[in-house]
Structure 1
Amino acid sequence: MDTVLFVEVFVTLFVIMDPVGTVPIFLSLTGGRSQASARRAAWQAVAVSFLVISLFAFFGQQILGYLHISLPALQGAGGLLLLLVALELLTDNEQEPTAAAGTNVALVPLGTPLLAGPGAIVAVMLFVQGIGGLSEFLAVALGVIAVHVCLWASMRYSLPILRVIRESGVLLVTRIAGLLLSAIAVQLVADSVRAFIAGEG
């Protein structure tokens, strides 16, 4: 196995997917749920993220080419979707508590586009394009798997924090998470617009 490539893949995806940074967002989205539901959301989000990234790693260029979608367009769409989620976190949404409680946050926004976002998808696609043999393939695959193990651990062991901070703490974390998520979303859209202006879209 190519150890240097493994470290490069792991560090790159770790920075992009930010396991530590997902903790406040995960806590805010699972604050009103039982421990079992939150644990299930943690592994489901990681599974969805791994599935989406694997799909784009193998078939990303073909999918985007067939649909005539550019990478900046994918990035902009992901940013707008995250911005909608951020606005919900920043504002009180007490009109439909039942619908909110029944929503599977593991799919959207946790699994995608928060974890398997445009940045992570593009990075993996670029790494896959550079694969020249079995050792490189193993390095990229193990790097992706290792990052997802870190993501699962960060969300799984954030549950004790949830028990300590209680409802008022969850409200505070929710507002902070909404602010951070909105900043991430605006950055994604800005990068997308910049790419379109540069003629890359």
Structure 2
Amino acid sequence: MIEVFVTLFVIMDPVGTVPIFLALTSGRSALTARRAAWQAVTVSFVVIAVFGFFGQQILGYLHISLPALQAAGGLLLLLVALQLLTGQEEEMTANANTNVALVPLGTPLLAGPGAIVATMVFARQVDAFGDFSAVGLGVIGVHVTLWLAMRFSLPILRLLRESGVLLVTRISGLLLSAIAVQMVADAVRAFIEAG
């Protein structure tokens, strides 16, 4: 359980998610932001669970390699990062009907290719109910941590005020773009090694 929790904690990075969550939910009510935190974690958990149980079959049926999934997730995150960097995040956050909890928070940020692949690897190693319980508790534990990090980050938003939120948004965009580029680079490297 601890190995699963630590691995997913490092990959999903609850602390690093906070500035991106704050940037994407700025300008929304506290209730809406809390709902977004809950929805993002729920979406992430469902995606991770589905891929843990059926990931190999889904990717095999669609003829999608893990590097292709990783590159697609990286490109999607790069688009979000560019919006945060150029001040166009209002397009994502201004419309009340836009649910940032689903995309990009729930997936591919939380339930990204790294977390999906790690979960699929742990799921392959399950031989007994004890192994299954350990993997399940590790996945649940990291999602509880993610929710706590986002849920209790909201007071920070009130302290930052508008100029602080703008700074956090730009820094988040920069960090997110670096994560996205790294995901694409890793995917390209995996394609080259496989070919």
TM-score, L = length of structure 2: 0.97
Letter in 1 for 2:6: V
Q: Which one of the candidate residues 83, 90, 107 is aligned to 1:88?
A: 83
Letter in 2 for 1:64: L
CA distance in 1, matches of 2:32, 2:150: 12
Identity %: 76
**Larger helix share, 1 or 2:** 2
Shift of 1:97: 8.0
CA distance in 1, matches of 2:133, 2:89: 48
Q: Does structure 1 retain, via aligned residues, the 8 Å contact 2:40–2:106?
A: yes
Q: Which residue of 1 aligns with 2:146?
A: 151
Gaps of 5+ in 2: none
Shift of 1:99: 5.4
Alignment of structure 1 residues 69-148 onto 2, 5 Å: 69-93=64-88, 100-148=95-143
Q: Which residue of 2 aligns with 1:63?
A: 58
Letter in 2 for 1:184: I
CA distance in 2, matches of 1:100, 1:83: 21
Paired residue total? 195
Shift of 1:180: 0.2
CA distance in 1, matches of 2:93, 2:41: 25
Q: Which residue of 2 aligns with 1:162?
A: 157
Cα distance per residue 1:112-152 (max 9 Å; x no partner): 00000000000000000000100000000000000000000
What is the DSSP-based 3-state SS (H/G/I as helix, E as strand, rest coil) of the residue aligned with 1:20?
helix
What is the DSSP-based 3-state SS (H/G/I as helix, E as strand, rest coil) of the residue aligned with 1:9?
helix
Letter in 2 for 1:178: G
Higher mean Cα deviation, 96-105 or 115-124? 96-105
Letter in 2 for 1:190: A
CA distance in 2, matches of 1:98, 1:27: 11
Letter in 1 for 2:121: L
Pair 185,95 (structure 1): closer, same or farther in 2 beyond 3 Å: closer
Pair 120,156 (structure 1): closer, same or farther in 2 beyond 3 Å: same
Letter in 2 for 1:87: L
TM-score, L = length of structure 1: 0.94
CA distance in 2, matches of 1:93, 1:77: 21
Letter in 1 for 2:51: F
Shift of 1:100: 3.9
Cα distance per residue 1:138-169 (max 9 Å; x no partner): 00000000000000000000000001111111
What is the DSSP-based 3-state SS (H/G/I as helix, E as strand, rest coil) of the residue aligned with 2:14?
coil
CA distance in 1, matches of 2:170, 2:72: 23
